[in-house]
Amino acid sequence: MFSLKEITEHLIRIKGYHEGLYDISVEISFAVGSFGPTSELILPGAMFGVSGIGLAKTEKVGPNTVDAALVNPIKPPNKKKSASK
């Protein structure tokens, strides 16, 4: 299992974000209807599913907020060493 903060950090790296505060965003689909194991036992019910996860940029720091500059800093360009003669 991964914590919400770990997933947020990973998504920041995948997206290539280097600055800003981000929280995880979860998209949920919801449906209502009649459910039951047999036609005699049908009851009103509801079900939901996670249809997507993403990142939400934020200005406020919360318990799962991640600073992209800390987890995915911009790497300085490699300096090529000149050949000594």
Number of domains in the chain: 1
Range of the domain at 10: 4-35+44-71
- One digit per residue, the tens of pLDDT, for the chain of length 85 reads 999 999 999 999 999 999 999 999 999 999 999 999 999 999 999 999 999 999 999 999 999 999 999 999 998 887 776 655 5
Residue 56 domain-assigned (yes or no): yes
Judge contact between 56 and 25, C-beta under 8 A.
Answer: yes
Residues 6+ apart with CB under 8 A from 15: 55
How many C-beta atoms lie closer than 10 Å to residue 23's C-beta?
Answer: 19
Residue 80 domain-assigned (yes or no): no
Residue 79 domain-assigned (yes or no): no
This prediction's pTM: 0.75
Residue 81 domain-assigned (yes or no): no
